[in-house]
Structure 1
Amino acid sequence: MPNPFFALPDIPSIPVQGEQATYPIGRIFCVGRNYAAHAAEMGHEVDRQAPFYFTKSAPNAVLTGARVPYPAGTEDYHHEMELAVAIGKPVFQTTAAQAHAAIFAYGCALDMTRRDLQIRERNKQRPWDLGKDVENGAVFAPLTRADHWSPTDDKRIYLSVNGQLAQDATLSELVWKIDELISHLSGFYHLRPGDLILTGTPAGVGPVVAGDQIEGGIDGLAPVHLTLTAPDQNALSDS
């Protein structure tokens, strides 16, 4: 095989609780407006006909505990706390009743968002990539295998900034349940191990700034932490 001109950065792998092996990140699918209260705070209603999605790039993922610079090009960077679902078996055009068998693990995740850019592009009916697919903008805590944890409705999902509670809900508020999401998404993609689904964020999203400490959790799962540092001046000057 010919040698490539250059080497690409390593794709992150997520630790799994109690395991030596890690879960390599393939694709990251994110569900939009999957909590009615969050949709309302953003000025929208939930589309109850079908879920919709956007994606994040695997190289833009980081692990919990990361210290990352406030990103370039935004003045309104938001936190979004989410439940991540890790696929463990190939699945295509499955039913909701069969979808659970494809789940490998669950984990806490942050979907960090350049809100000003998302809204600007959305208002122009353009894709959300600049707002959503942000360097260091997908943050993952260690995963817990599906046979050790289940996403029951009573599980609390929450996030704090500098110790102040900002998001606080339960998984009962998910509009589209996890098996329904896997079934629907598998009608468009051959889902496979390495694929992650971020299932949406509850109400209470808001801006963060350099120096902020962000911590999110879901009952029974390892929490996720992120520290924002000062902007990368080199990145700003190159943009």
Structure 2
Amino acid sequence: MAKTRPTIGTDGLPLPILPPERDARVWARMVRVMFYTPGFLALLLIKAGEPTSFGITVELLMLSSAAAIVGGLFIGTQSTAAGADHSSKTGTWSGALVLELLAVVPFLCAIPALFHELANSHLLHATAPGAVDVSLGASELLPSAAILPFLLYQLAGFGTVQFVVPKPVNWAINIGIACLITASNTANREGAYFWERRFAGILVVAMVITVIYGVLRLRQMQTTYDAHYPPKSSE
């Protein structure tokens, strides 16, 4: 049976709704995945791709890998034992927020452009004399479908953002993510690298602002929760 939290504080007001307790070990494994995978793909792109058409893909992959390390730092501070403060109690949630928005989102933005570049790489696909160049066509868009389960994750109650912003804002953030990723990848495919960088830059800045706000908001919510948590004798 799930353990329920008190909903009303000692001041008679509703307590903040905090994210559920999460297994830090699972998120620590996620850190390893998000550190190695983007880095490997960036090296693959540098090795096999055409530098003139990289766009901002390599930078996004490196951001994803670096953000995983930062997320791991937050997760590593998680503690509810003796001496734990308001920050350490929100370590896993804060790390999850960093991974979701600064590791996964840039990764999802980079993958379609990465696949497009590798699919058209002359180094990987040496053309024999007289051979017909077969275009992959719409199948190149298949990696973009990964954004759909991510949006489901965010909007169906699994993500961390929903606990720090109102529901309409959460929807707006995720719709914005989808639109900016689509715009960035469209610009990449059309060779409009200036606009690709602009769209990706807006996306990254928006994610950074959301993460900073979210981490501080989680700490504030935990502080309020601890300050007004009813004593066990009154439960």
TM-score (norm 2): 0.28
Higher helix fraction: Structure 1 or Structure 2? 2
Higher strand fraction: Structure 1 or Structure 2? 1
TM-score (norm 1): 0.28
> Looking at CA atoms only, which structure, 1 or 2, has the larger radius of gyration?
2
